[in-house]
Amino acid sequence: MAIKIDGTALANQVNETTLNRVVEMSKRGRVPGLAVVLVGNDHASQIYVQNKERTAKKLGIHSEVIRLPESTTQRELLDQVNELNMAPAIDGILVQFPLPAHLDEVEVTRTILPEKDVDGFHPDNLGRLFEGDHGSFPVACTPQGIMTMLESVKTPLKGQNAVVVGRSKIVGRPMSALLLRADATVTIAHRYTPADVLPVYTRNADILIVATGIYHLITADMVKPGATVIDVGMDRDPDGKLAGDVDYFEVEKKVRAISPVPGGVGPMTIATLMKQTVDLAEWHEER
Ligand SMILES: Nc1nc2c(c(=O)[nH]1)N[C@@H](CN(C=O)c1ccc(C(=O)N[C@@H](CCC(=O)O)C(=O)O)cc1)CN2
What residue spans define the domains of the chain?
A: 29-113, 141-266
Q: How far is the CA of 253 from the centre of ligand 1 (A)?
A: 27
**What is residue 260's DSSP assignment?**
-
pLDDT of residue 287: 84
Q: Which atom of ligand 1 is nearest to the CA of 140?
A: 7
Q: Which atom of ligand 1 is nearest to the CA of 261?
A: 29
Assess whether the C-beta atom of 94 lies below 6 angstroms from ligand 1: yes
3-state secondary structure of 48: helix
Q: Which atom of ligand 1 is nearest to the CA of 49?
A: 14
Assess whether the C-beta atom of 211 lies below 6 angstroms from ligand 1: no
Long-range residue pairs from 80-88, CB within 8 A, at least 24 positions apart, any chain: 80/37, 81/37, 81/108, 81/111, 81/112, 82/111, 84/35, 84/37, 84/112, 84/116, 85/111, 85/112, 85/113, 85/116, 87/33, 87/35
Q: How far is the CA of 269 from the centre of ligand 1 (A)?
A: 7
**Backbone CA torsion sign across 45, 47, 52, 53:** positive
- As beta bridge partners, residue 162 has 186, 207
Positions marked active-site: 52, 96, 119
Tell me the residue type at 193: T
Assess whether the C-beta atom of 89 lies below 6 angstroms from ligand 1: no
Superfamily of domain 141-266: NAD(P)-binding Rossmann-like Domain (3.40.50.720)
Assess whether the C-beta atom of 37 lies below 6 angstroms from ligand 1: no
- What is the residue-level pLDDT of the chain in tens, covering all 287 positions? 899 999 999 999 999 999 999 999 999 999 999 999 999 999 999 999 999 999 999 999 999 999 999 999 999 999 999 999 999 999 999 999 999 999 999 999 999 999 999 999 999 999 999 999 999 999 999 999 999 999 999 999 999 999 999 999 999 999 999 999 999 999 999 999 999 999 999 999 999 999 999 999 999 999 999 999 999 999 999 999 999 999 999 999 999 999 999 999 999 999 999 999 999 999 999 98
pLDDT of residue 182: 98
pLDDT of residue 29: 96
pLDDT of residue 159: 98
- The topology (CATH level 3) of 29-113 is Rossmann fold (3.40.50)
Assess whether the C-beta atom of 60 lies below 6 angstroms from ligand 1: no
- CA atoms of 126 and 123, how far apart (whole Å): 5
Q: Do domains 29-113 and 141-266 have the same CATH topology?
A: yes
29 is in an annotated binding site: no
